Amino acid sequence: MMKKLLGAMSLLLILCILAGIPIAPAAQAAGKYWIGVDITNQITTVYRVSDNSVVRHMLCSTGLDSSPTPTGTFYMQQKAYASERTEWYYFRDYNCYAKWATRIKGGIFFHSVIYSSKSNSSLRTSSVNNLGKKASHGCIRLTVDNAKFIAQNCPTGTKVKIYKGAANPDLKQQLTGSYQTLKNGSSGTTVKKLQQRLWECGWYDGPINGK
């Protein structure tokens, strides 16, 4: 019986090769991280594959109810365009730019907050203010530094699990944080630190002078 089964499988393989039918490999995770996207809390978490320990939590914006982010387990796809996983990616359907776009499935990406043009000064502040809330057309928006981390550290084949988790207001509050209120005319060390941080995130390209 086993010989017959092996013979049948070999014959099927030969027929597929002769007919030019591709034999798709089974999906499997790649790299040292996997990613969870919790739609309920709007939090993306990177885990180590080796022990499931948390590498970093990130506030995100997933799809609006009218354009929801698909749920399920996916494996990051290869680039379809050279500009993927680079500093600037153009979304033709929406005439906008984002940084460090990494393809999850089809037209669904991890990417940064939104810019109107290929310039840091064109940042759409509403996309920043909406982090932690549903706001996208289905992609998963992140800060620039978080989108860059995924693009540079999570290769093709990385597992991505998108799901609706239990509410976790404490974790969300930790990620939101509370900061000293600054206003036009403020100056000093706090302003300088803010300018430096915004520059690192790609949201500011002016002088770092504390003013």
Alpha helices in the chain (DSSP H): 2-19, 125-129, 144-153, 169-176, 189-201
Read off the pLDDT of residues 163-190 as tens digits, 9 standing for 90 and up. Answer: 999 999 888 888 886 556 788 888 887 7
Q: Which residues are catalytic?
A: 111, 139
What is the rounded CA–CA span in Å between residue 58 and residue 147? 10
Residue type present at position 130 = N
Buried/exposed code over 43-74 (b: 16+ C-beta within 10 A; e: otherwise): bbbbbeeeeeeeeebbbbbbbeeeeebeeeeb
Q: Please, what are the averages of pLDDT over each run of 10 residues along the chain (211 residues)? A: 48 45 51 97 97 96 98 97 98 97 97 98 96 97 98 98 95 75 82 84 88 89
- What radius of gyration, in Å, describes the C-alpha atoms of the chain? 21
SS3 198: helix
